[in-house]
Amino acid sequence: MKITKEQAEENRQKLVATAARLFGEKGIDGVGVAEISKAAGLTHGALYAHFPSKDALAAAAMQFSTRNAYSKVTEHPVTLPGLIAYYLAPEQRDNLATGCPLAAAGSEMARQDAAVGAGYTAGFRQMVECIGRQLPAGEGQREQALAIMAALIGALSVSRNVYKTDPALANEVLKSVQNMLLKLS
């Protein structure tokens, strides 16, 4: 049965969105193409018709995730205190599937294909630029934006990592880093 170009593109987008959600929940190495295909309501053949490998799908999913995350952060006028509060909210920590892909995939990137890493890097750069626009222009602006973004990712990652065993510590990490960053900004 032949499908239309529109249906093929819809299937591709469904695979990318499903992979992005599952990679966020379970990690890139924690989910296989069979699970992604099934969750998208498609076959292995449909997946491989669009992507030559899981790495290619992971690269597309990382680009999709970082674009969506950036859109969420910037859909309203962005202030640095607002961005910090949004990013370090418990809701972000608790939402692995659609929370920040930079925090969700941070520890995995060194083990992934360069194409997957490129999507991560592009998303990181985009967020650094967004933060930089909120800081006073001048010497040290980029350095401060890099440090803030790294602190946000680190705080969210640590909070997620300790939450199951010590929810109070997880909340303390978010609040402490938020307070520190607000003092610096």
Domain boundaries, the chain: 5-184
Long-range contacts of 48-54 (CB under 8 A, 24+ apart): 49/8, 50/8, 50/11, 50/12, 50/15, 51/15
Query: What average pLDDT does the structure give for the chain?
Result: 92
As a whole number of angstroms, the distance between CA 17 and CA 184 comes to 36
**CB neighbourhood size of 119 (10 A):** 23
Tell me the residue ranges of DSSP E strands in the chain: none
Distance separating alpha carbons of residues 130 and 15, to the nearest angstrom = 29
Name the DSSP class of 111. Answer: G
Average pLDDT over every residue of 117-122: 93
Which residue from 116, 100, 20 is spatially nearest to 12, judged by alpha carbons? 20
**Which of the following CATH numbers is that of domain 5-184: 1.20.1440.230, 3.40.50.740, 1.10.357.10, 3.40.50.720?**
1.10.357.10
- The answer to whether the pTM exceeds 0.85 is yes
pLDDT digits (tens, 9 = 90+) for 27-74: 999 999 999 999 999 998 889 999 999 999 999 999 999 999 888 888
Token readout for 124 is: 């990181």
Query: Which pLDDT score is estimated for 1?
Result: 62
In angstroms, the CA 75 to CA 94 distance is 21
